[in-house]
Structure 1
Amino acid sequence: MATVTLPGSAVSTRYHAIGRSTVSGMPEWQRLDSDLRHGIDIVARVMPFRTNRYVVENLIDWSRVPGDPIFQLVFPQLGMLSKTDFDDVRTLVEAAADVESIGRAVERIRRGLNPHPAGQLTHNTAKIAGRPLPGVQHKYRETVVFFPAQGQTCHAYCTYCFRWAQFVGMPGMRIEARSTADLVAYLKAHPEVTDILITGGDPMIMATRTLRRYIEPLLAPELEHVQNIRIGTKSLAYWPQRFVSDADADDCLRLFGEVAAANRHLAIMGHYTHPIELQPALAREAIRRIRDTGAQVRMQAPLIRHVNDAPEIWSELWRTGVRLGLVPYYMFIERDTGPHSYFAVPLVRAHEIFRRAAASVSGLARSAQGPTMSALPGKIRILGVVTRTELTDRQRTVAFRNGSSSAVDPREQLLVCDFVQARDASLIQTVFFAAFDPGATWLDQMRPAFGQERFSFEQAGERTAPLHAFTECLLD
């Protein structure tokens, strides 16, 4: 397999990271307003910041900065910290405080940003004989998530990243595995597992020889129940050279082909946040080369304010992706971690954006599911808004049986949700109702409908219990 000559003119062939300590060397940086530069520097002391020359030269329209969506996506923004937290760090920096003092303030702020949401450190850990397995999470019945240690960084960091704590050196916050030995042993003991998601960070930051050490053991005959290997990656958008011109690009593609030859399905879970990421010729060449190996590329991303919170952005993203052979998969809701308040879109508005985007594309692009939040009990999808009078007789009966008052206004608006995925598989495809709240952006801001004190799947403040009350309550 011959390495392809890079298409396009403004394309770097050697990876060059840009971070807080090196960004001043960018000509584009020097043209920015000094207050903007200073603000980015302050926020970058708290949140991770890394981009690279490919992103800077090919994806950002510098005439639109700071409003450019990719600039918002990779450069820390002033609104990502509360005014109090921002001022605390700025005061220390401008006073030339010692490193320890600044570090203590930064650590305090980070700890207050819910660094590991959805029970990542407490509810997913896989165990063998009672021993926790580092870097292995059994998230759903059929799906295990694996965090290879060498893949816990990225070619560039997204400002909204829900795994930002992996990158900032917080003690006890890094999830990683050093080998596949524990993973293989666990999989042998769990034949119900059909899917492995290799994630990070970004596994494609690894050299192919390292990636091969993690993937090859999964192809063994004794693990034939593991039919699907997924790799979550942003590299197709942030460094497509990984599949085209990097020194081991061809070897990487050969490895992908070996997965198909072993009668396994390889799904590259491409994180595409904006259609501009699909425009460079190099990005399209990377897609073509991957698909030629027999692997499938799916596209997913969260709905992010300031970046992609408009239906026409999503419809263009899906249409372009389908034309290039990608499969639209998820529109996620921004997780309740880090700078959630800056990037979050209210659930009601998120559904409207999704609905309008889906209504303007063909059925091939409607494979996308959303808007969906990956919360503690599972993946919860927002299906829409109804009034009580629009419910079926059966739904009203179930609601009454679970505490609804007949005195409630029949015109009351309700948010309709279901479980796309769940820790308790019996919840999948079951529907529940929340009170209409145009400002709610996450599960913990949602209130149960019908006058109930809590959702029926919520027990002792932990939303993992079975959805007994609404199992029957399916929309017609």
Structure 2
Amino acid sequence: MYSCQSQEIVSVANAEKYKSYTLRNYRNLRQIDRLSEDQKFAIDVVARVLPFKTNNYVVNELIDWDKLPNDPIFILNFPQRGMLHPHHFNKMAKLLKRGASKKEITDCANQIRMELNPHPAGQMDLNRAYLDGKILPGLQHKYRETVLCFPSQGQTCHAYCTFCFRWPQFIGVEKLRFAMQEAEELVQYLKVHTEVTDVLFTGGDPLIMKTKIFAPYLHKLIRANLPHLKTIRIGTKALSYWPYRFIDDVDADDLIRLFDDVTAAGKHLAIMAHFNSMEELGTDTVRNAIRRIRSTGAQIRTQSPLLRHINDRPESWIALWKQQVNLGCIPYYMFVVRNTGNSYYFNVPLARAWNIFRAAYSRVSGIARTVRGPCMSALPGKVQVLGATQIKDNEVFVLQMIQGRNPEWVLKPFFASFDDQVAWLDDLRPAFDQSRFFYQDELDMLIESNMLTEGVV
């Protein structure tokens, strides 16, 4: 908690319970009067298009309201005017100013959303999983060894990150959502796909669910005869935005016992935690939550995109990685912002991203160099920028895949012409006068022949 706010803040530890703030009630926050009416109106406009939710822990213990409008946690939670293109912002603003109907506002919002690439990298179609000819809408199977599961009751979060690439999960448009209804279908799918070693529960945030709802998914997995399943991962932002989930929530002890059950069954349990800024690691609550999780034998791996306005300096990452290691967490990924939603507000050109990564990586000890980056979760796979260099008369990016739709693509170096403004794989051009990258012909054939419809190559 910031000392400059000590007389204003009421500790969440003394609060009654979790309380969310959305477009409906955020103006009730006592701190919100620090914003101008123009700033509040910008929130009203952008939040009609992009999801907006925060909570009392974030508001009272993480945001430094004396640093507005540049506090990183404020930007991570409260929509900003620049998160919409000017023409989109103005279109919605005009409707609000003239008191348009709810239908007009909703129709306008949906039109804008469909122009924001709501499902990048083939999430909605190419990653589908099938069982007995039936699509399992809450599963994705992009890489051979890993299946993603989206539990139907875990498709929200304690608070929404403004950069989130899964923003379509939260806007109420059913055709844009993934959702898994039955844990039994997941087990049956894994019995057929014995190549799978890892299941990743994701969302939304699976830890938004009560333990009694989430537990059947994990118990069915560990009690089924699935010797090929080695690791269960849980992707969550709860450590950052509601660490009381692991300490003081009514069923926090049940959750910790559930983690114990997984590790006692001989499965590796990995908590895939999202930390974007040092402020998220600065409270006693999050440190206690980390200690409690680790006491079960689970590992915590940490990841974040590189975000303009938030952590686009080497010093930010040095501090993050060092503190994560000090707390017993494992730095895992520095991602590049995906080409969806308001990515233009947060993205950093690949050349600058590489320089930030290299500068930070070179100033931490080997124990923090488990981290990989900068990486793009793109259509063909997880593409890592290895650097920029000169080869004869050509300035190039050196790239490789850490994961690929075809495992044979992994760790094959390839080259793109250097461009200091490009921020995503799709905008890169092959180097050396090549017309295509090495994987593109095969990827096209895979798509055209529908070989991806079974979920794996």
Q: Which category describes the TM-score, using the shorter chain as reference length?
A: over 0.9
2:436 alignment counterpart: 454
Contact 1:13/1:245 (CA < 8 Å) preserved in 2?
no
Q: Secondary structure at the match of 1:421?
A: strand
Q: Secondary structure at the match of 1:109?
A: helix
- Distance, in Å, in 1 between the alignment partners of 2:16 and 2:262 is 27
Q: Secondary structure at the match of 1:223?
A: coil
- Distance, in Å, in 1 between the alignment partners of 2:311 and 2:34 is 25
2:271 alignment counterpart: 268
1:432 alignment counterpart: 414
**1:44-443 maps to which residues of 2 (within 5 A)?**
44-389=47-392, 410=393, 412-443=394-425
Contact 2:382/2:402 (CA < 8 Å) preserved in 1?
yes
- Distance, in Å, in 2 between the alignment partners of 1:10 and 1:457 is 51
Give the superposition deviation at 1:333: 0.4
Give the superposition deviation at 1:128: 1.6
Contact 1:244/1:286 (CA < 8 Å) preserved in 2?
yes
For 1:414, the aligned partner's letter is V
- Distance, in Å, in 2 between the alignment partners of 1:46 and 1:275 is 28
- TM-score computed with the length of structure 1 as normaliser: 0.90
For 1:349, the aligned partner's letter is R
Q: Secondary structure at the match of 2:272?
A: strand
For 2:402, the aligned partner's letter is V
1:21 alignment counterpart: 24
Give the superposition deviation at 1:129: 2.4
Give the superposition deviation at 1:463: 9.7
For 2:429, the aligned partner's letter is R
Cα deviation digits, residues 176-225 of structure 1 (max 9, x gap): 01111111111001111100000000000000001101110110251121
- Distance, in Å, in 1 between the alignment partners of 2:306 and 2:34 is 30
Give the superposition deviation at 1:280: 0.2
Q: What RMSD over aligned residues (CA atoms) do the two structures have, in Å?
A: 1.4
- Distance, in Å, in 2 between the alignment partners of 1:137 and 1:9 is 40
- Distance, in Å, in 1 between the alignment partners of 2:408 and 2:441 is 17
Give the superposition deviation at 1:447: 0.7
Give the superposition deviation at 1:130: 2.0
Q: Secondary structure at the match of 1:459?
A: helix
Alpha-carbon distance change, 312 to 208 in structure 1, aligned in 2, over 3 angstroms: same
1:471 alignment counterpart: none
Cα deviation digits, residues 322-351 of structure 1 (max 9, x gap): 000000000000000000111110001001
- Distance, in Å, in 1 between the alignment partners of 2:95 and 2:334 is 39
Q: Secondary structure at the match of 1:51?
A: strand
Q: Secondary structure at the match of 2:358?
A: helix
For 1:444, the aligned partner's letter is D
Contact 1:376/1:464 (CA < 8 Å) preserved in 2?
no
Q: Secondary structure at the match of 2:92?
A: helix
For 1:345, the aligned partner's letter is V
Alpha-carbon distance change, 239 to 463 in structure 1, aligned in 2, over 3 angstroms: farther
Identity among equivalent pairs (%): 49
- Distance, in Å, in 1 between the alignment partners of 2:179 and 2:335 is 24
**Which of 1 and 2 has greater Rg?**
1
In structure 1, stretches of 5+ residues that fail to align are: 1-7, 390-409, 466-476
**Aligned structure 1 segments of 4 or more residues deviating by more than 4 angstroms:** 460-465
- Distance, in Å, in 1 between the alignment partners of 2:77 and 2:284 is 21
Q: Secondary structure at the match of 1:172?
A: helix
Give the superposition deviation at 1:461: 8.5
- Distance, in Å, in 2 between the alignment partners of 1:19 and 1:360 is 40
- Distance, in Å, in 1 between the alignment partners of 2:157 and 2:251 is 17
Give the superposition deviation at 1:464: 6.8
Q: Secondary structure at the match of 1:299?
A: strand
Deviates further, 449-458 or 197-206: 449-458
Cα deviation digits, residues 135-174 of structure 1 (max 9, x gap): 0111211000000000000000000000000000124111
1:42 alignment counterpart: 45
Contact 2:206/2:235 (CA < 8 Å) preserved in 1?
yes
Alpha-carbon distance change, 306 to 321 in structure 1, aligned in 2, over 3 angstroms: same
1:444 and 2:444 aligned? no
Give the superposition deviation at 1:31: 2.0
Q: Secondary structure at the match of 2:331?
A: strand
Q: How many positions carry a matched residue from both structures?
A: 437
